[in-house]
Structures are given as structure tokens and as C-alpha cells.
Structure 1
Amino acid sequence: MVAGETSGDLLAGLLLDGFRARWPDLRAGGIGGTQMMRRGFEAWWPSEKLAVRGYVEVLWHYREIVGIRTQLRKKLLADRADVFIGVDAPDFNLDLEADLKAAGIKTVHFVSPSVWAWRADRVEKIRRSVDHVLCIFPFEPDLLAQHGIAATYVGHPLAGVIPIRPDQAAARRLLGLQAEDLVLALLPGSRRSEIDYLADRFFQAAAHVIRAHPAIKIIVPAVPALRAQIELAARSAGMLGQVQIVSGQSHTVLAACDVTLIASGTATLEAALYKRPMVIAYNMNWLSWQIMRRKKLQPWVGLPNILCRDFVVPELLQDAATPQALADSVLQWLDAKISAPEKIRALEQRFTTLHEELQRDTAKIATDAIQNILAG
């Protein structure tokens, strides 16, 4: 298995629970993180090595990433695994999967590349590289079938982990917050490049929010490996003493908050499953952005908006993601909490419906699909 970042590590860890229930003597190794290792996974390299987003940013790490893939390919071809599962990270995994499939090793890709949102040209590469795709969104198998790619909808694992009705009071107690506190969560990303491009903007936006709501509590869940980088950004923005930075605990923070300012990515879906109003933001290297925007197929970038087919929450991307604009969008949600609670309730209902659509026994369905592939 290869999972290339924090969200992939979480998804792969949930899959491993199902695998071990079916195959108690399972041996699993490759590239992974703490969630996978907690399930007995042998991480030959940590998933953080692949946690790079953006075309230019990848170039800076290209030699190391290619070296890892070359070594991994040799090891997997020598060991002849029964099945290889690439968890997201399509730029790394699809080329590797193509080589393994050509050598007769069964290949599965978990989390369909978003050909319906970006890079439709990738469809041919998927068909060449994988025996089966495990899809987390219900519309994806039919779309892939049109291109001759076998796929199974397994639901989104997080929809089974996150409760339909999150316990905000319990989450606040865990974080030392009071029930009556107004709480803003800042989630500037789980990659170093995201922290570089977003953290300073987020902290400056939070400073604007504090001026409007001096008593607001601001919580920042940090990937442990990136905590020092986030603290440095907070200090540079003059905000270190005004925010509470916690290691990990992103789900607890999302459950506890009233609103979140959040980097585009899997975390936005987690926020939707916690039924939280959010402002989605993203900023990256200018050249990477120019390349990405030309491959965009839909008006939305944030997963909650893509799945709801509407701008149910604001998206502020690249030059639009100024501290003042981010703060203004956050303040609109905070004002709605006080003066237009029906707007918050409507969003919560929309996200509850989405949650129910994504809820399946993902680990079992995925394990059944892989069993069929192995038997085929």
C-alpha cells in the first residue's frame, strides 16, 4: 500500500481494519503514516515524503520522490505482493501501478482521481494502470465504466467514523472550552507547502476576526510534524499568544468549533460531515495555479460544494484569499449564528443529507471487492 499524506493515511488505516478482519495473517507494507502503522503496517517510508501539492513544488522534491518510487518498484516486483493498493496520491501511484500491473500484480486504486473535476486526460492512464478502482463518491463508478474501468462504490470511510450528530459539548470539554464560547477553527493544511502559502493569511484573517469578536477562541489543530512551522507562522503574525495550537485532534476541533477557516482538500469534507459552516481557501505557487486552473472542469474546488453541486460555502482561491476577504467571509457565518440561525440550520441539513449518502460499510465493501479481484 502507498498513502501519500495525512488524509490518505487515515483512509488506508480504516481499510486495514476491514482487511485484518477478513485476513488475520495479513502482511502489509509500503508507504504510510501513523494510522496505518497503528494497524501493524510496515512503513518503509513515511507518507510525509509524498505530501507535496503543486507542479512547481513537486519539482523541488522530484529527485527524492522518483528515487523512492524506483526503490519501491524494485522491492514490490521482487516480493510479488498479492495485491497493491494505491491510496490517492495519483501522480505517484498511477505510474507505479502501471508497472506492477504489467508485471502481473493485481492493482487497486482507492479514491478515484477526480477526473470529473480536474485532468480528464488522466482516464486513459487509470485504465492502463489499475485492475479496479474503489470509489468514495456514488456517481464515480458509472463515469469510470463509460471508459471501460471497473469500479465499486464503497462509500466514504469518514462518513462511518464521524457521527451524524457530533457532540459539540464533549469536544469543547476535551479542549478546555466553555459551552458558551464562540469558537473559530483554523486548518491551514497538512502539507509544508500549504502552511507556507496559507498559515500567515489565516492568522492575519484571525486577527481581523478578533477585532470584531474580542472574546472569540481560536483553535488550530496541527499535524505534529508541522507544529513548529505553524507556531512560527503564528508568531510572525503576532498571534501566537491569541490562538490555541493543539497536536492532531482535527476531528475534536471541528466538532467543537462554530466556524472553520480551512484549506481546500479532504479536511473540507470532514468539516461538512461535522456539519460546520466553513470558508474554504487555497493559495499555491503562481505557476502551479496557472497550470491547475486550465485543467479545472467545474466551477467549484471545495469538496462540499462539488458534492452539493452548489456554492453552499464560500471559496476564496489564490489572489482572492486575502486576510481581509477571509475574515469577512468568516464574520458573515459568525453573524449568521446570531442574527440568521436559519441559514446555519439549512447548511447543517444539507450536510446531514450528504453524510447519509456517503455512509456505507466501506471496509467490508472494499474487502469484498478485493477478494473478488484476487479470485479473478
Structure 2
Amino acid sequence: MSLNIGMVAGEPSGDLLAARVMRGIAAGAEPGRCQGIGGPAMLEQGFEMWHPMSALSVFGYVDALKSLPRLMHTYLDVKRRWMRHAPDVFVGVDAPDFNLRLELQLRQAGVPTVHFVGPSIWAWRYERIHKIRAAVSHMLVLFPFEVAIYEKEGVPVTYVGHPLAEIIPMQPDRAGVRARLGLDPGARILALMPGSRASEIKLLAPRFLQAVQRLQVQDPALQVLVPMVNAQRRDEFQAWVRQYPVANLRMLEQSSLAHRPASWDALEAADAVLVASGTATLEAALFKRPMVISYVLSPAMRRLMAWKSGQKGPLVPWVGLPNVLLNDFAVPELLQDDATPEKLAQASWKALTDAEHTAGITKRFTQLHETLWRDTPALAAQVIISQARQGAAR
């Protein structure tokens, strides 16, 4: 018997997560047919794509408003299909605004629903737990501390580990990636990661580049690697480089290795990282790199986030995932008015040169990596197949 599994992944990270879960499902005793919204990695695993994940791609609140007709058309189409021919289980991968709404409709129609990657209710908008409780039959979470939150709220939950912890090597090969990129094996290298959105480049790139200018006064030979997610971000960043030029800067685009982002090459080659808050901070931690985390929101965006969340700030004292997971300011966070070129340069110099600090961070990040490493595809597949069996028997 082949199980019929509905699935929606709305962005590249979700595409990779879903593809790994599909491999776990295929390895089970009852392989399933997966269909819905996804990306190229899912297609490689035999996914039946009704809409590409680009149909759900939005960048910020303004883009979301402009994209509303397209989003509604996509939503109504997949909802109609699944209401007409119900899947045995539905799996929503991240994209909570889209997936939780769809999960609620399907669950009310009797379809078991699994949501993979819990929304960060521990930081913003805890009230979403009520929507989750109504919409989700079983939650799959990436971080161990999330289990207690969902158990307390009566939502069935399984910790499946973070798939990045399985993919990123426990022992990074700095020498190997430097050789592949043609970098000096003995150079001092800073990875500069100002974000993947236009607003992040606009607000962080000039500060980061001015910080590098100060660092290169102390070490004129300092090498700088800047991974770029696409040509548009590259052009936006390059415009800031012309205004704040630095020496020995190299922009990296897609790695020559399949499914390996350019950011991983930069992180593995670097001695330290100056990084925008986000998933890249966790990647830096898994590569065991000392880092400085920064972020700046425009006044308008701060007001919009406060209005939407009902909060002036996050519910935890940290914004960087490594600090959240370690429950400590293990690495510095320079946010808003503190994100000055001078402060960024001072903190980055310590990350680059303080051997004792680096040794301590390496130890803590190794322990974190071990905590997050699980057989994510198999664990997720077990829950999904169990829910699908219940759905098939209804």
C-alpha cells in the first residue's frame, strides 16, 4: 500500500528539509507518494509538484501585500484538490502563515496534519499556540527546548534534531575548503554575512564594510569572504563596496558542490564571522566559528513588528540562535544603535585573534552540535507514516 502524502514547502530551506524527509519515508516499509508545493530538491526525490515553492516566496510585509492575489490563488487551488481527494496525511514544512491556515482546514476535514519546524513562539507571538493546537495533529521540532513548550500546551510533539547538524561535518575541514577556493592556508579570514534580503544589505552592509576598514588598519592582510545568495544581492552589496572599499574582498556565489550553499564555503574557510541574525548564525555555530551577531531594523519595520506581535521585543534576551540554544551570551550581539562600525570591529577583532575565546567557543559549539544531531529523516518519517496510517484507516 502506498500512502498519499500532501506536502507544502515554501522556501529553499524547507525544500531541503522536505527532501530529506521524503528520503526517510521512501526508506520505510510503506513508501508514500508526495504531492503539493515544493522545490527542486523535492522533485529529485519524486515529488509531484502542483505549484513551485516560488509561488509562496515573499520578502517582507510589503511584498506579501503585493503577492496576496497569487498566494490566495495557490492556497485555494491546493485546498480544493485536497478537499476533493483527501491525503492520508498533510505535512506543512515551515511557512507557518500559509501552512497553519491550510492545516486547520484539512484537520477539520479529518486529515491528520504534521507541522515540521515549530514557529518561534518562544521569541515572538506566543499567542499563535492556540492556532497551532487547533491546526496541528503532531508537531516536529528542531530544538530540544521546544518540546516542553508544546507538551505544556497539549500539542503532541517530537524532537527530531536539526538536519543541518547531520549535514555539516562535526570536524570542519578549513584547510580543504581553502585549497579548493585557492585561498592562502595561513591567511586570517573573516566571513562577512550581511543577510539575504535587500533591507538587510541596505542596513548592515555599510556598517559591516566600515568595520572591515577598521580591522584592516590593524591587519592590512585580512581576507574577507562574502557569500551571495543571488545576483541581485551581489549587485546591491557591490554598490556599498564602491562607497566603502576594502582590500582582499572576495564574493562567493553558489558552491561547485551540489546543494552546498556558498555560505558554507565562507564559514568553513573563515577564522571568524560577522553575521546578520538568522539561520546563518546556527550554521556558523555548527562550523564551530567564533562570531559577532548583528541586526538593524528600520524604524518603520520596528513599529510594524511591534504592532503585529504585540511586543516591543523578543520574549528571550537573545536574538542569535546559538545564544538562545546555549541559554547564554556565548557570542556578542550588537543590535540597532549598538551596531556601530567601531563596536563591530572591536568584537570581530576579538573573535579573530583571541585564541582562548576561540577554544572555549569551539568546545561549546561542538557540544551544541552533538545535542542537535539526530537521524532527522528517519525520526520525522516515523511520525508522518504513523499519522498517515491513522488517516488511511479513517
Q: So what's the TM-score if we normalise by structure 1?
A: 0.89
Q: How many residues align?
A: 370
What one-letter code is carried by the residue in structure 2 that aligns with 1:355? H
Q: Does 1:370 align with 2:384?
A: yes
In angstroms, what is the RMSD of aligned CA positions? Answer: 2.4
Alignment correspondent of 1:294: 312
- Tell me the equivalent position of 1:356: 370
Q: Which runs of 5+ in 1 are unaligned?
A: none
1:234 deviates by 1.9
Q: How does 1:272-351 map to 2 (within 5 A)?
A: 272-290=285-303, 291-292=305-306, 294=312, 296-336=314-354, 341-351=355-365
- In structure 2, the partner of 1:134 is 140
1:168-212 deviation line (CA, Å, top 9, x unaligned): 111111211121011111222334443444344433433333333
Map of 1:20-99 to 2, 5 A cutoff?
A: 20-22=26-28, 26-52=32-58, 54-55=60-61, 58-99=64-105
Partner Cα separation in structure 1 for residue 105 and residue 54 of structure 2 = 23
Larger Rg: 2
Could you tell me whether the CA contact under 8 Å between 2:10 and 2:93 is conserved in 1?
yes
Q: Deviations over 1:8-60 (max 9, x none)?
A: 23322322221222278643233333333333334444434544455455335
- For 2:121, which of 96, 115, 139 is the aligned residue? 115
The whole-number CA distance in structure 1 between the counterparts of 2:201 and 2:296 is 10
Q: Secondary structure at the match of 2:289?
A: coil
Partner of 1:155: 161
Query: Residues 150 and 70 from structure 1, CA distance in 2 versus in 1: closer, same or farther, beyond 3 angstroms?
Result: same
Cα deviation for residue 111 of structure 1 reads 1.0
- Secondary structure (helix, strand or coil) at the match of 1:28 reads strand
Conservation of the 8 A alpha-carbon contact between 1:7 and 1:266: no
**Structure-2 change in CA distance of 1:158 and 1:60 (3 Å):** same
- Alignment pair present for 1:270 and 2:283: yes
Contact 2:221-2:248 within 8 A present in 1 as well: no
Stretch deviating more after TM superposition (11-20 or 116-125): 11-20
Match of 2:233 in 1: 229
The residue type paired with residue 43 of structure 2 is M
Cα distance in 2 for residues equivalent to 1:257 and 1:250: 10
Runs of 4+ deviating beyond 6 Å:
none
CA distance in 2, matches of 1:264, 1:38: 31
**For residues 205 and 14 of structure 1, do their structure 2 counterparts lie closer, same or farther at Cα, with a shift above 3 Å needed?**
farther
TM-score scaled by structure 2? 0.85
* Percentage identity across paired residues of the two chains: 45
Secondary structure, counterpart of 2:153 in structure 1:
coil
Q: Provide closer, same or farther for how the CA distance between residues 191 and 79 of structure 1 changes in structure 2, counting only shifts above 3 A.
A: farther
Distance 1:48 1:326 in 2: 35
CA deviation after TM superposition for structure 1 residue 95, in Å: 1.1
CA contact (8 A) 2:198 2:236 kept: no
Distance 1:297 1:319, change over 3 A: same
Paired AA for residue 147 in structure 2: P
Mapped to 1, the partners of 2:59 and 2:182 lie a distance apart of 34
Determine the structure 1 residue equivalent to 2:178: 172
